[in-house]
Structure 1
């Protein structure tokens, strides 16, 4: 979609964050969708996706918008990105997924939504660690254990 086809709100968002277009880079590979995901701006993210924002874009650390939604522990944003078809199991250069990040950083809201959306709990990082191995809080540990148990019994 061209700049002319964007609504005023989306144009204002892009301009206020220094983006030239819906897939622009404001530095370090940060795209508008990543910025909206980090801030938990679901409506902006949906508009960006509708305007052609790339779900598979990666920042300088090799992470997608889903990872940044987890940084902010934005459950609704995780849901919006999952509904749009983002790869839930995308691994960065170290083999870490958004699920592993959410578990290791104690982000239970995002973690619960990733689990509900079907993120793969068995994936391992390059060091052979899973999200369960990395759980930094009792709440995250219980979420992961509960889901793993549900899969074993289901």
Structure 2
């Protein structure tokens, strides 16, 4: 039995400690916004936050997440009003959309760490998130827009 706090809600899960966190999130907690991509922590589709830091859920054993705060794409905002989600929609970033929850989670962590990221900051922070559709210019523009929106909401 593992006790996890996902998106602010604590639940007990009857799963082995070495089960990948991704499968608990998707298959047991039924939060399917976090995607399976490669299973090797190379593509970023499975990015979630663990105590506020981006983490690849596909290679993280669930036991390592016990007692920590897990945030998935569903936990950013119930209605899509998080500044990063708003920027993604405003700039029509998504093409196929498969990688976008991981891209968004990485962008949220970046803006938290660097409220005014440069292009180089964005490229470095999101370099582990692969977009097969090649929407990188729109992703970069959306991160800049999200940083502006985040500043506006904190005023």
Which fold has the larger relative contact order, with Cα–Cα distance below 8 Å and residues 6 or more apart in sequence? 2
TM above 0.5, one fold? Answer: no
Structure with the bigger percentage of helix: 1
Q: Which has the larger radius of gyration?
A: 1
TM-score normalised by the chain length of structure 1: 0.30
